[in-house]
Structure 1
Amino acid sequence: MAAVIPAVTKLSNRIIRILGCNPGPMTLQGTNTYLIGTGKNRILLDTGDKDVTEYQKNLSEVVKAEQINIEHIVVTHWHHDHIGGVENLYGTIAKQPTIWKYRRDTSDAPDNELPSTLPLNWLTDGQEIKVQGATVKIHHTPGHTTDHVVLTLLEENILFSGDCILGEGTAVFEDLYTYMKSLNRILELKPNVIYPGHGNIIEDPIKKIEYYIAHRNQREQQILDVLIKNKEKKFNEMDLVKIIYVETPEHLWPAAAYNVRHHLEKLTKENKIICTNVDDENKWQYIGSQSNL
Structure 2
Amino acid sequence: MSLIKLRSIPDVTKISQHIIRVLGCNPSAMTLQGTNTYLIGTGKERILIDAGDANVPKYVQLLKRVLKEEDAKIKDIILTHWHHDHIGGVKDILRDEKCRVWKYERSDADDEILPNIAIKKLNNGQIFKVEGAVLKVVHTPGHTTDHVVLTLQDGSLFSGDCVLGEGTAVFEDLYEYMKSLKTILDLNPKVIYPGHGNIIENPIEKLNYYIEHRNQREKQIIDVFETNAKKTFTDRMIVEIIYENLPENLKLAAAFNVNHHLMKLAKCGLIKQITGGGENLWILVEKGELSKSTL
- Normalising by structure 2, report the TM-score: 0.95
SS of alignment partner, residue 11 of structure 1: strand
Deviation at 1:247, TM superposition (A): 3.4
Alignment of 1:270-281 (within 5 A): 270-281=268-279
Instruction: Specify the alignment match of 2:292 in structure 1.
Output: 291
Code of the residue aligned with 1:142 in structure 2: it is P
CA distance in 2, matches of 1:227, 1:42: 52
Matched, 1:3 2:7: yes
Contact 1:272 1:290 in 2 (8 A): no
Instruction: Specify the alignment match of 2:3 in structure 1.
Output: none
Instruction: Specify the alignment match of 2:191 in structure 1.
Output: 193
CA distance in 1, matches of 2:52, 2:136: 21
Percent identical residues: 57
Alignment of 1:141-290 (within 5 A): 141-154=140-153, 156-288=154-286, 289-290=290-291
| Alignment match of 1:14 (pick from 3, 9, 18) | 18
Instruction: Specify the alignment match of 1:63 in structure 2.
Output: 67
Deviation at 1:277, TM superposition (A): 0.6
| Alignment match of 1:42 (pick from 40, 43, 46) | 46
Show CA shifts across 1:50-79 (max 9, x none): 010110111111011111010000000000
CA distance in 1, matches of 2:75, 2:95: 12
Instruction: Specify the alignment match of 1:89 in structure 2.
Output: 93
Code of the residue aligned with 1:34 in structure 2: it is Y
Q: Which blocks of at least 5 consecutive residues in structure 1 are unaligned?
A: none
Length, aligned pairs only: 286
- Normalising by structure 1, report the TM-score: 0.96
Q: CA RMSD in A?
A: 1.0
Runs of 4+ in 1 over 3 A off after TM superposition: none
Contact 1:271 1:290 in 2 (8 A): no
SS of alignment partner, residue 99 of structure 1: strand
Deviation at 1:91, TM superposition (A): 3.4
Show CA shifts across 1:201-234 (max 9, x none): 0000000000000000000000000010011110
